[in-house]
Structure 1
C-alpha cells in the first residue's frame, strides 16, 4: 500500500499568507515563540558559517580531516578536540564567528515585541545585537560540560553580558535561549560529538532544558523561521525544546528545499509547513 506523501501537507499561497498573518498576531501578543534557524541571519550576508555544512568546511580549511569527519561539523569538531585539545576547538569556533552579524529587520522587530521567549539555534550573535539597548531581558546558553566538575547544562547572562544566577531569569521580560551556545558574550559552544552525547543522554527527560524555558513555552505555539531539519541533531533539539508546549506549531519553509524526512518530521510534530519564501515571510511579519 502506498503511503501518503508527507510533503503534501504544505499550505501554499495565498492560504499560507493568511495563516502567517494570523500567527503574527499571536507573536505580537506573546503567545507564539519564535524559533530562529540559520536561514534568518543568513539574509544579512553575515560572512560567518551559517549552517553545519559551512562550519564543517571551515574546520576542514583549518585542519586536515579524516574521511569520517569530512562534511560533518560535529564529527570534525570532535576530531579537533581529540587531536588538539578543547581550547583549540573553542578558539576555532570563536574565529569562525568573530565577525558581528548584523540583525535583520525581523530580528529588530522581535526585540521590540512582548515575547517571553525567543529561541535562537545557531552560534551567531545577531539576536543579541538586536536586543542591545533594550532593557529587561537576558540570555540562557547551553554550555559544553568538557572540563566541568559540576552538574551544569547552561549559563545565564544579563543584557550587559555579565554572568548571573538562575534566579535572575525569572524577572526578565524576554529570555533569549541559545541551546547550542553562542560566540557572545562568553564563547560557549556545544559543537563536538562528545558535547551532544552528554546532552542527548538526558534531553528526553528535559534535564538540559532550563526550567524557565519550560515554564515559558507551556501553552504556547512555536514559529520556526529559517530552520532546516535535515540533521538528526537539529530535529532532536527542535522536538525537545518545543516539547509539552501547545500542540499547534508553524514553520516557514520552501517546499523545493526540503526532503521527505524533513516533511515527515514536521508532520509528526504537529508543525504546519507554510510554503512562503523567507524574505516574503519577513515582509508579512513586519507589516502585520
Structure 2
C-alpha cells in the first residue's frame, strides 16, 4: 500500500535524486500560488500582506513544468502479517482505509465526516466503552493503546496501535469491532453526548493556544475551514447523522501486523 511508504521516499529513491531534480521541483512548485500562509495573533493585517507581497517569495513565478505522479491504490493485504523488530514487547498495528481516491468526500463535507468518524472511534475504542475497560482490566491493553483517524489529500484511514502480551487476541477483538462499527456505535448511544462534549471541550481549549489555531488549518483539503468552523460543525452533529455517516462509509479489509521482539 503506497501509504506505508515514508513521504521522503526510500533509501533507493533518495539516493537517485540529483541536484537538477531538486531545482526542477523548486522551480515548478515552490511559488505563492501553491502556498497558504496562516497567521494568528495581534498584528497589522495590511503591513503583513505588504511584507509578503513585496518579498522575493511573494512575487516569484513558476519557472518550469513538472509532472505529478500519484501512486495507484494497492490491493489491500488482509492476511495477518508478522515481523521481528528490536523491541522488548509485542506490538500490533492495524489499519483500514476509508473511501478510495475517486470516492473520497471533499471540502466541508469531508471535515464533517472526519469529526463524526473521530467521535465514533473515540466512543467505540475509548474510556466510555465497556470493552475497552474490560481489555484494560484484563491486561490485554495498557496506556499504549491508541486509535487515530487520519484524513489528508487523497486518502483517509483509521489506525490502531498497541503493545500487548496477547497480540493475536487483541487483533481478533479489535477486528471484530471494526467489522461491526455501526452496531458497536449504536450499542453505546447513551454515551454519545458525553463523547461529543469531550470533543467540544478539547476543541474549545485549543483556542487558548495560537499555535493550535494555526496548525488546525488544513487549507484546500477542507475548503479553508478553521478551528472555529470545526467547533460549529461539531455543535450541529447529532447521533443520527453520525450513525448515517459511519454506515455509508466505504471501507477496505483490515490490515493487521504483529511485531514480535527480535531474538538475538
Normalised TM-score (structure 1):
0.25
| Higher RCO by CA contacts (8 Å cutoff, separation 6 or greater) | 2
Computing the radius of gyration from Cα coordinates, the structure with the larger value is 2
Normalised TM-score (structure 2):
0.27
